[in-house]
Amino acid sequence: MTKMEQLEHEISALSAPELSEFRRWFTEFDAKVWDDQFAADVQIGTLDQLADAALADHRAGRSRPL
């Protein structure tokens, strides 16, 4: 059995309260992983080209207020 299959088996065996707690935990865990990856991407400049293009479009009048 793969690690993923084992996890699926364990999760499907949780009681309703345990599943609720797992969902809460995983939502927080997943958000932190995403935030950490985003921060790392910002730090190394991965998003610089996108930001530069957006600012150039804004300066050229190709944006509108939200």
49 falls within a domain: yes
Residue 40 lies in a domain: yes
Give 9-38 as a DSSP string. Answer: HHHHT--HHHHHHHHHHHHHHHHHHHHHHH
Q: State pLDDT tens for residues 9-29.
A: 999 999 999 999 999 999 999
So what's the pLDDT on residue 16? Answer: 98
Query: Is there a domain that residue 66 lies in?
Result: no
pLDDT value, residue 14: 98
For residue 15, what pLDDT is reported?
Answer: 98
- Inside any domain, residue 19: yes
Is 64 among the domain residues?
Answer: no
Q: Is residue 7 part of a domain?
A: no
On whether residue 65 sits in a domain, the answer given is no
Q: How confident is the model at residue 1 (pLDDT cuts 50, 70, 90)?
A: very high
pLDDT band at 38 (very low <50, low <70, confident <90, very high): very high
Average pLDDT along the chain: 97
